[in-house]
């Protein structure tokens, strides 16, 4: 009897193992990647036991949490009859406002730049239709002759050339109105900060007009032997 029982138990165990293997083969394999589940609404996330209760906690999904009610985004309606146009607010200061133009008077006119001057004598020139005689000065005649140590020389021609070389390529600023009549004028002029009349008289290339303010400058030029009072160059 023991010899017959052992083979029977082995056969039964083999049949059981075969059935278990067959059952394992019938189970479908689990996919490597599971498809994403659609987001659940707020009502679906509420437990069935809490549905219908006002104090039940709500768990919103990320998509629904980012949604804003249309009545919050939409601007309120404004009736046309309620719109009223008002005047603009006055500026806080005058820094950004354009200043009104200033109109000068002949008494305080700063002057007019005269371009491309052409010297006509040792104390006069023409430019832009003007003929300007430097105020407070008297020109040296172009054919004047001066003597130095008893030797005559052409000082008038030398004075004319000195003024021409000094003024060439510059634009003197003279106290004439830009809309003034084009006629010979006696006017003070300057180049930068240099007074043209003072330069001419102090260098001996023009004579000082009595009462013109340059008498002392002429005396200094005579004592120093400047220009027509000195030796020929």
**Distance between alpha carbon 110 and the CA centroid of its chain, in Å?**
29
Q: Hey, what domains does the chain have and what are their CATH numbers?
A: 112-229 (2.40.50.90)
What pTM does this model have?
Answer: 0.53
Q: Which of 173, 172, 168 is nearest to 119 (CA)?
A: 168
DSSP conformation letters of 169-231: T---EES--TTS-SSEEEE-EEETTEEHHHHHHHTTSSEEPTTSS-HHHHHHHHHHT-GGGS-
Q: Which of 161, 168, 169, 149 is nearest to 205 (CA)?
A: 161
Q: Which of 218, 123, 121 is nearest to 174 (CA)?
A: 123
**Res 168: pLDDT:** 92
Q: How would you write the pLDDT of the chain (233 residues) with one tens digit per residue? A: 454 445 565 666 667 677 666 665 555 555 555 555 555 555 555 455 544 554 545 454 555 556 666 656 666 666 656 667 778 777 776 666 666 555 445 455 578 899 999 999 999 999 998 999 999 999 999 999 998 888 899 999 999 999 999 999 999 999 887 665 667 889 999 998 899 999 999 999 999 999 999 999 999 999 999 999 998 87
């Amino acid at each position: 009897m023991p010899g017959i029982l052992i083979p029977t138990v082995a056969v039964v165990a083999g049949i059981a193992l075969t059935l278990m293997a067959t059952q394992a083969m019938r189970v479908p394999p689990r996919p490597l990647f599971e498809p994403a589940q659609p987001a659940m609404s707020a009502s679906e996330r509420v437990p069935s036991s809490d549905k219908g209760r006002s104090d039940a906690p709500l768990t919103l999904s990320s998509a629904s949490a980012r949604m804003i009610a249309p009545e919050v985004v939409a601007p309120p309606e404004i009736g046309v009859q309620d719109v009223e146009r008002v005047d603009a607010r006055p500026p806080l200061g005058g820094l950004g406002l354009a200043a009104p133009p200033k109109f000068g008077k002949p008494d305080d006119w700063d002057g007019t730049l005269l371009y491309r001057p052409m010297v006509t004598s040792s104390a006069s020139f023409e430019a832009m239709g003007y003929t300007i005689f430097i105020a407070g000065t008297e020109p040296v005649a172009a054919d004047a002759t001066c003597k130095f140590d008893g030797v005559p020389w052409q000082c008038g021609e030398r004075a004319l050339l000195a003024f021409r070389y000094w003024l060439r390529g510059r634009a003197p600023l003279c106290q004439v109105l830009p809309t003034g009549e084009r006629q010979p004028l006696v006017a003070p002029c300057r180049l930068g900060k240099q007074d043209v009349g003072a330069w001419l008289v102090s260098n001996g290339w023009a004579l000082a007009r009595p009462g013109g303010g340059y008498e002392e400058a002429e005396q200094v030029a005579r004592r120093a032997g400047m220009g027509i009072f000195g030796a020929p160059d």
